[in-house]
């Protein structure tokens, strides 16, 4: 267990649950993204395999659930919902797959990571752009500004935009400090340093950073238009994920979909 989690009362994770039911438990949020402060809570994401009866039943399906325990924010995803998000290129689902694990079925996680890394489509970057627009609207929302602060919103926007450029290059990275080693920005590193050090940030710097993220958003959109990445409906990701989940439940004799053609999700 990483020492930075020692101040949190972590939920007990049954070994049998990990071995039989849980694909992984990952650390998300500030501890994963690279901007932990004394005020940061801990975000855990569970992805689990429902029993096959729950998976196929129209009456007793498992649903994604969220709760908070002792300042630990927990979200649990049944594997079918999680894979649908992953297929669309949902940024949260992609992050979770590659974020630090506190428990996992390593072989299965690695095989899923390889599938996703080899099947990036335009929807992954479109999700980054959509989240960037959402954050931009938050700059004008007093309630959101009071809750998160402009500095954290800026870090979120920088991270998702740099993540988009990284995806266009065929790479997956969720951590902002590591992204900054690959991509140059004028203002992000200074804002990140001030935020984690709890130092005041100059108002002009924040204005410059907002303008820079606006420009990065435009550039990412232009880069996506020029990209040769396939659309989600042309991608083989859905077939590969479908084959993967069938193998988890049905074993090596599971019927395999035709990966020679794309299908609509």
Reported as a single tens digit per residue, the pLDDT across 196-218 is 999 988 999 999 999 999 999 99
Average pLDDT value for residue range 111-125: 98
- 77 and 142 in a single domain? The answer is no
Average pLDDT value for residue range 208-229: 97
- 33 and 154 in a single domain? The answer is no
Average pLDDT value for residue range 117-144: 96
How does DSSP assign 194-240, residue by residue? HHHHT----HHHHHHHHHHHHHHHHHHHHHHHH--PPPGGG-SHHHH
If you search the block for the tokens 């550039």, which residue do you land on?
219
Q: Average pLDDT, whole number, for the chain?
A: 89
* Residue 53 belongs to domain with CATH number: 3.30.460
Residue 135: the pLDDT is 97
Q: How far are the Cα atoms of 58, 206, 216 from residue 85, in angstroms, in the given order?
A: 20, 33, 25
Q: Residue 263 falls within a domain, yes or no?
A: no
CA 227 to chain centroid? 22
User: Is the model's pLDDT at 186 over the cut of 60?
Assistant: yes
Residue 263: the pLDDT is 40
Average pLDDT value for residue range 251-258: 59
Model confidence band, residue 52 (pLDDT cutoffs 50, 70, 90): confident
Model confidence band, residue 138 (pLDDT cutoffs 50, 70, 90): very high
Residue 107 belongs to domain spanning: 3-119+231-253
- 197 and 146 in a single domain? The answer is yes
- 207 and 238 in a single domain? The answer is no
- 106 and 140 in a single domain? The answer is no
pTM, 2 dp: 0.89
Q: Residue 196 falls within a domain, yes or no?
A: yes
d(CA 135, CA 232): 24
Those residues whose C-beta lies under 8 Å from the C-beta of residue 199, and which sit 6 or more positions away, are 193
- Which one is predicted more confidently, 257 or 174? 174
Average pLDDT value for residue range 71-98: 95
Strands 65-69 and 42-48: unpaired
Residue 2: the pLDDT is 39
Q: Residue 174 falls within a domain, yes or no?
A: yes
User: Is the model's pLDDT at 8 over the cut of 70?
Assistant: no
Share of the chain above pLDDT 70, in %: 87
Q: Residue 260 falls within a domain, yes or no?
A: no
- 186 and 218 in a single domain? The answer is yes
Residue 257: the pLDDT is 60
CB contact at 8 A, 249 and 55 = yes
CB contact at 8 A, 113 and 47 = no
Q: Residue 261 falls within a domain, yes or no?
A: no
Residue 262: the pLDDT is 40
- 162 and 241 in a single domain? The answer is no
- 96 and 151 in a single domain? The answer is no
d(CA 157, CA 16): 39
Q: Residue 259 falls within a domain, yes or no?
A: no
- 143 and 245 in a single domain? The answer is no
CB atoms under 10 Å from CB of 89, counted, come to 23
Strands 72-78 and 42-48: parallel
> φ and ψ at 28, to 5 degrees?
-120, -170
- Which one is predicted more confidently, 49 or 3? 49
Outline where 36-98 has alpha helix (H). 52-56, 79-88, 91-98
- Count of structural domains within the chain: 2
């Amino acid at each position: 267990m990483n020492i930075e989690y020692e101040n949190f009362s972590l939920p007990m994770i049954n070994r049998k649950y990990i071995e039989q039911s849980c694909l992984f438990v990952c650390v998300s949020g500030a501890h994963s993204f690279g901007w932990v402060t004394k005020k940061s809570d801990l975000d855990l994401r569970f992805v689990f395999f429902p029993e096959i009866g729950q998976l196929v039943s129209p009456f007793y399906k498992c649903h994604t659930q969220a709760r908070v325990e002792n300042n630990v924010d927990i979200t649990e995803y049944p594997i079918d919902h999680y894979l649908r998000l992953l297929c669309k290129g949902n940024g949260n689902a992609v992050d979770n797959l590659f974020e630090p694990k506190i428990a996992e079925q390593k072989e299965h996680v690695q095989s899923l990571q390889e599938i996703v890394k080899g099947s990036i489509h335009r929807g992954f970057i479109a999700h980054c752009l959509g989240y960037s627009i959402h954050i931009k609207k938050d700059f004008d929302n007093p309630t959101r500004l009071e809750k998160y602060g402009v500095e954290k919103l800026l870090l979120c926007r920088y991270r998702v935009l740099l993540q988009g450029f990284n995806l266009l290059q065929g790479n997956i990275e969720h951590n902002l400090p590591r992204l900054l080693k690959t991509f140059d920005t004028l203002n992000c590193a200074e804002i990140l340093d001030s935020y984690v050090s709890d130092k005041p940030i100059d108002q002009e710097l924040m204005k410059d950073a907002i303008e820079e993220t606006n420009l990065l958003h435009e550039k990412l959109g232009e880069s996506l238009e020029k990209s040769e990445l396939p659309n989600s409906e042309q991608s083989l990701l859905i077939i590969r994920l479908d084959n993967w989940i069938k193998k988890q439940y049905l074993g090596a004799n599971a019927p395999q979909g035709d990966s020679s053609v794309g299908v609509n999700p």
